[in-house]
């Protein structure tokens, strides 16, 4: 009988140990998830603070300062992104609506989202450039004033 009692005690101890370890693991995971969530909140706060600071700096910065160099790099990066977006839009046959700032097909006369009249010269200019042989480079990137405004609004 003592063998069965020893076996029963061993199984009971093992079960209690597993339950205790499981509880510890669960509590540890909860703490890790809470820490991760707080770190994510912290990153979000830094992003918002950064946007506010950039907006506050505006154009009044010393180009030799660290802020000035970073702001210049920020503007250069925005310009590069805008150029790529323009290129992608051209390849898709899309233009920016002057009313709602959304991408719409260059084939439309009016924006299907806001109803604003679309400027046809952008699509006519593209068509005339495509008609000229060997003029693929001229089609590359034309920075539009509408797109510059779009980037300044995204801070």
Element (H, E) at 94: strand 94-96
Q: Is residue 9 part of a domain?
A: no
DSSP-assigned states of every residue in 100-149:
T--EEETT-SB-TTT-PBPPSHHHHHHHHHHHSTT-TGGGS----HHHHH
Q: Is residue 45 part of a domain?
A: no
Q: Is residue 78 part of a domain?
A: yes
Q: pLDDT per position in the chain (155 positions), as tens?
A: 688 888 888 999 999 999 999 999 999 999 999 999 999 999 999 999 999 888 887 767 777 888 888 888 988 999 999 999 989 988 989 999 999 989 899 899 999 999 999 886 544 444 444 443 343 333 333 344 344 444 444 43
Q: Is residue 87 part of a domain?
A: yes
- Domain tally, the chain: 1
Q: Is residue 105 part of a domain?
A: yes
Residue 67: which of 56, 78, 77, 81 has the closest Cα? 56
Q: Provide the residue range defining the domain that includes 124.
A: 66-150
Q: Is residue 30 part of a domain?
A: no
pLDDT at residue 59, as a whole number:
66
Q: Is residue 102 part of a domain?
A: yes
Q: Is residue 35 part of a domain?
A: no
């Amino acid at each position: 009988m003592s063998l069965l009692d020893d076996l029963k005690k061993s199984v009971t101890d093992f079960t209690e140990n597993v339950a205790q370890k499981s509880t510890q693991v669960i509590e540890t995971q909860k703490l890790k998830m809470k820490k991760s969530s707080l770190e994510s909140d912290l990153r979000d706060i830094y992003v918002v603070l950064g946007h506010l600071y950039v907006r506050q700096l505006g154009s009044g910065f010393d180009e030799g300062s660290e802020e000035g160099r970073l702001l210049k790099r920020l503007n250069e990066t925005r310009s590069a992104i805008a150029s790529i977006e323009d290129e992608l839009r051209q390849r898709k046959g899309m233009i920016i609506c002057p009313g709602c700032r959304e991408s719409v097909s260059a084939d439309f006369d009016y924006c299907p989202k806001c109803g604003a009249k679309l400027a046809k010269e952008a699509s006519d200019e593209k068509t005339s450039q495509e008609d000229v042989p060997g003029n693929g480079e001229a089609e590359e990137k034309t920075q539009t004033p509408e797109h510059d405004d779009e980037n300044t609004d995204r801070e």
